[in-house]
Amino acid sequence: MGWLLALRAAVTAASRIGMNRMLLRFGRKPLLVASMAAAAAALAILPLAGPTGAVFVMILLGVGLSLPQPLTMAWVISHTAPDLHGSALGMRLTANRFGQTLIPMVIGGVAVPLGIGAIFWANAALLALSGAVVFNAPHLDRPQEATDES
């Protein structure tokens, strides 16, 4: 089954090649929300998919997981002063690593009595919740304007 992870990785790399065109056509916020929704749907479906279905789910997951990382990095950069880019990206990375450590421990502890599918469904729910937060975020497509008040 390692080839399914390789397929997802290949789709991830391929989808980033066309990311700039998609970004210009759809904008940052719609592209980010759509990719997060695709990844959440793929994670929710994966425990129910058979071997053939897993191929299609991994393709969807590859596209869904490939775009949020560079899009959110660009978003952080566009909303910070040039002298704060390193600090802002460091905070983003720290929060990301904290989530990558804490979330599996919490979900794993909760999902033990519910089975392996609960792990995928819990992650899909968290991703969908994050997508809803992004969907409701103001001013995601344009950089924050500097004012004298800030």
What's the full length of the chain, in residues? 150
Residue 140 is predicted with a pLDDT of: 63
CATH number of the domain that 43 lies in?
Answer: 1.20.1250.20
Return the DSSP state at 50.
-
Give CA–CA dist 23/112, Å, rounded: 40
39 falls within a domain: yes
Tokens standing for 51?
């071997």
Structure tokens at 1: 């089954």
**143 falls within a domain:** no
Q: Does residue 89 form part of some domain?
A: yes
Whether 146 maps to a domain, the answer reads no
- Whose tokens are 């004012």? That residue is 147
Give me the half-sphere count of Cα atoms (radius 13 Å) on the Cβ side of residue 133: 6
Domain that holds residue 87: 2-135
> Any idea which residue has 């990095």 for tokens?
73
Has residue 142 been placed in a domain?
Answer: no
Asked, for residue 33, whether it belongs to a domain, the answer is yes
* Residue 150 covered by a domain: no
Classify residue 30: in a domain, yes or no.
Answer: yes
pTM for the whole structure:
0.81
Low-confidence residues of the chain: pLDDT under 50? 143-150
Say how many domains are in the chain.
1
Give CA–CA dist 106/63, Å, rounded. Answer: 26
